[in-house]
Amino acid sequence: MSNSASTPRLVSLDAFRGATIAGMLLVNNPGSWSHLYAPLEHAPWHGWTPTDMIFPSFLWIMGVAMTLSFARRVEAGDDRSELFRHVMRRSAIIFGLGLLLVAFPFGLLPTHHFSLAKMRIPGVLQRIAVCYLFAGAICLWTGKRGQIAWSAGLLAGYALLLKFVPVPGYGAGHIGEAVGNLAWWIDSHVLAGHTWSGAPAPGFDPEGIISTLPAIASTLLGALAGQILREPVSGNAKATRLVGSGVALLAAGALLHLWLPINKNLWTSSFALFMAGWAGVLLAAFYWLIDVRGWKRWATPLVIYGMNAIVIFVLAGLIA
């Protein structure tokens, strides 16, 4: 594999993305919601399960792909403003597809009830769109230091908001349950009537407004991993650095967990760090096996999924 800064498309990144999409489809379509295998369930509140790794890994992968794609196109002479217009168009399409999944089949089936007045606005694709938009802007107009600063600022700022901003009737730092925390209060007021009906508490949404801030940081942490993959060093060295950065993020997330628990519903800063660490370690394994060692054939189904991730996710949602 070439060691030049201009890294070609990584088969391992497509395979890892494909694995996350396959995981999403399995979690969203488990066969029977009343008889779930424990690893296919989200943690009820604090803590994590393998299922909780999937969504943050997808955002992290999106960040890696941003760094590699933007760098290639800027080096080829593409204008950054035009690239950002592409980002905005793509974000709008993904957001619209998310709303389509929420609304479909528009109340046309006997078991489906649809109402614009109660339609959920946030969602998985909607969060992907927002993260792609904001992280894309940051990646286009800042370098490595700027991306580190934005990541740290978003994670630190969100942690301070959760811990120290008082919620009317509950006070500050009330994160032991879905009701009473700042994310719930903002969503239940700003998005009143438009949050997820299956959330841990009425008015709360796991893809809500301020919990998207650390999700943007999750994407930026992936963008920083993409910087490692562009370094002019050997494939073995890149894999080692990915593992090292991943382990460091795992340790940081575990330490922060002592003060701000790992929580996917709130997308706490400890959760963002910890899951970015896992993503780094897992991509290192995919990268070493596929792009360094050249063992690609086994990953072909995952690569197909990974190169058509959004299409497969939307089709699976519509069919289900």
Report whether 93 contacts 126 (CB < 8 A). no
pLDDT value for 45: 93
Rounded Cα distance, 208 and 216, in Å: 13
Rounded Cα distance, 26 and 32, in Å: 11
Rounded Cα distance, 77 and 199, in Å: 46
Report whether 44 contacts 262 (CB < 8 A). no
Rounded Cα distance, 197 and 202, in Å: 7
pLDDT value for 104: 84
27-38 exposure pattern, b = at least 16 Cβ within 10 A, e = fewer = beeeeeeeeeee
The separation between CA 244 and the C-alpha centre of its own chain, rounded to angstroms, equals: 21
pLDDT in tens, the chain (320 residues): 333 444 567 899 999 999 999 998 888 877 776 777 777 788 899 999 999 999 999 999 999 999 999 999 998 889 999 999 999 999 999 999 999 999 888 777 777 777 788 889 999 999 999 999 999 999 999 999 999 999 999 999 999 999 999 999 999 999 999 999 999 999 999 999 899 888 889 999 999 999 999 999 999 999 999 999 999 999 999 999 999 999 999 999 999 999 999 999 999 999 999 999 999 999 999 999 999 999 999 999 999 999 999 999 898 888 87
pLDDT value for 1: 36
The separation between CA 305 and the C-alpha centre of its own chain, rounded to angstroms, equals: 17
Rounded Cα distance, 295 and 316, in Å: 29
Rounded Cα distance, 162 and 211, in Å: 10
Report whether 208 contacts 122 (CB < 8 A). yes
* Torsion sign across C-alpha atoms 149, 152, 155, 160: negative
**How many other C-beta atoms are found inside a 10 Å radius of the C-beta of residue 10?**
20
